[in-house]
Amino acid sequence: MNDEGGTAPTADDDTAGAASAGASTDAATPEAALVATAHAWLAQDPDGETRAQLRAVIERAEAGEDDAAADLADRFGGRLAFGTAGLRGELGAGSNRMNRVLVAQAAAGLAAYVRERAGLAADVGEDEDPDTAPVVVIGFDGRRNSDVFARDSAEIFAGAGLRAMLLPRLLPTPVLAFAVRHLDAAAGGMVTASHNPPNDNGYKVYLGGEDAGSQIVSPADAEIAAHIERVAAEGDIAALPRSLAFAHAPESVVEEYVAATAAVAPAPEGADGLRWVYTAMHGVGWETFSRILEAAGYPQPVPVAAQLEPDGAFPTVAFPNPEEPGAMDLAFETAREAGAELVIANDPDADRLAVAIPDAGADGGWRRLTGNQIGLLLGWRAARLTAEAGAPDGASLACSLVSSPGLAAVAEHYGLDAHATLTGFKWISRAPGIVFGFEEALGYLVNPETVRDKDGISAAIAMLGMAAEARGRGLGVADLLTEFDATFGSFASDQISVRVDDVSTIARIMAALRAEHPSAVGGVAVDRVDDLLEGVDGLPPGDVLRLWLADGSRVVVRPSGTEPKLKLYLDVRGDSPDDAAARIGALTDGARALLAGID
């Protein structure tokens, strides 16, 4: 999937003829219609690898092989949906895969939306001033074809009369989010699949202006999707105007991000001698992060050498997500050998942060902190600093509604507002007066005036600052967790993820829970149930059920937005850490039993 050049190749005669047949609607059978659709796709595909891949499947399907027909049905029976998370899916040929055809259609649709939003005509006019055209900035990570998808996008944006700016090299997602604001761009596109499996890729969209560099929300997602569908219906991406008159964003954009992020937490005295380990998880975080460490004055880490440089094959991990079992094993091994005090990990596009600390009782002597534990510590830091600086009216801490309610206790302690939003930083970043936001899936927004999205690098700097300050007092990160409990109460959380092969299973479970609300979970009565499809607490409608139990515990049930999973989020508040641990254990057992009882 790496043919060079900006336009589709000329189709072979047999491919072109089949493409014409693909435009017909009178195919004799569903199988023949699929083959015709595949030929039509083949005719416009500019990528040699996916053309060869699809041609082989077509030949097998035309020979009557059932598995090939099923393969075509999977590739063309649907289309990767463009929504508030943008696009994300497996690389390959077909409308239900990530590829150059789909990305070109998405870029053209986004370009049309940007023009429409700016009050420009659909087509570029001769009297348009290119110097005043809306800016669109494009970034890309180290996954397979990310650079190709980014260049295709830049050419299409430029061809649509926009000022397209491509980031100078592969860089973390937070740098793209920063660049949207820094360059006063109308929109930004980041080619990444974050922590998804190695053969996935994706496309995140950010908006400038009144959206302040946040990811898209409704109705922008539907409006962009409508433009993409129109482009796809027109049928040939080779007809899309392209231009090489795009610019590369200056290196100063990265330098400004480095400076702003280093200023989040300059190294305190306790940083001297701090021994810690870092892994980039085969992603793009290290080159930028290392520059920030130097600027902020922190000692360099002991790196997990095998995972430090970008590698889209992710050779040492089955699933490049630090939350997944085994993903941080090499980091723990390195930490044991180095006698480290702390492990810091970014996911492949460096928008998430994982932290681990020594724990003699844990497997291998290291324990990864939960996203809630990290979020509560960083929220405590942000609240304290805000209060010390004189908190402005309306200053707030925000988290997703599936994240720990402990953040609201921190906000109350410091006289700040608290907001619980739908999941995703597209919502968290829009919380009024936000000074800090997080979600339990290892996402943290610590510098909202710089990046209106989760940022694993700025969060890492803030975490290093906390660890160094504690070290200066003769304490470790585990002691900070103890201090948090003593100050705000003992909160405990757990999560149950149910991965399914058939996504209809998730809809069936949600429907069953809505049809008959559970009366108890783990022997504790359910006081009330919030169905967010009906709108609750002023939140936009969402496919979420929230169960409030008589003892103050909470169970939230929702489908994953990016994977075929049903997720349950469990939260308790105990009288002590031991009490909280006992309560969360009982609640988890009860939630599993609840799921097992659904036919």
- Active-site residue list: 194
8 A C-beta contact, residue 532 and residue 523? no
Structure tokens at 86: 């943008």
Q: Quote the CA–CA distance of 480 and 123 in Å, as a whole number.
A: 58
Q: Quote the CA–CA distance of 87 and 204 in Å, as a whole number.
A: 7
Burial class (CB in 10 A: 0-12, 13-18, 19+), 295: middle
Residue among 11, 85, 64 at smallest CA distance from 42: 11
Q: Quote the CA–CA distance of 531 and 575 in Å, as a whole number.
A: 29
Number of neighbouring beta carbons within 10 Å of residue 9: 16
Dmax (CA) of the chain: 78
585, 587, 588, 593: CA torsion to nearest 10: 130
- Per DSSP, which regions of 456-522 are E strands? 490-499, 520-521
Return the DSSP state at 250: P
Return the DSSP state at 351: -
In one letter, which amino acid is 561?
G
CB under 8 Å to 67, separation ≥6 — which residues?
60
8 A C-beta contact, residue 100 and residue 146? no
The distance of Cα 97 from the centroid of its chain, to the nearest Å, equals 18
Number of neighbouring beta carbons within 10 Å of residue 239: 12
Q: Quote the CA–CA distance of 372 and 406 in Å, as a whole number.
A: 9
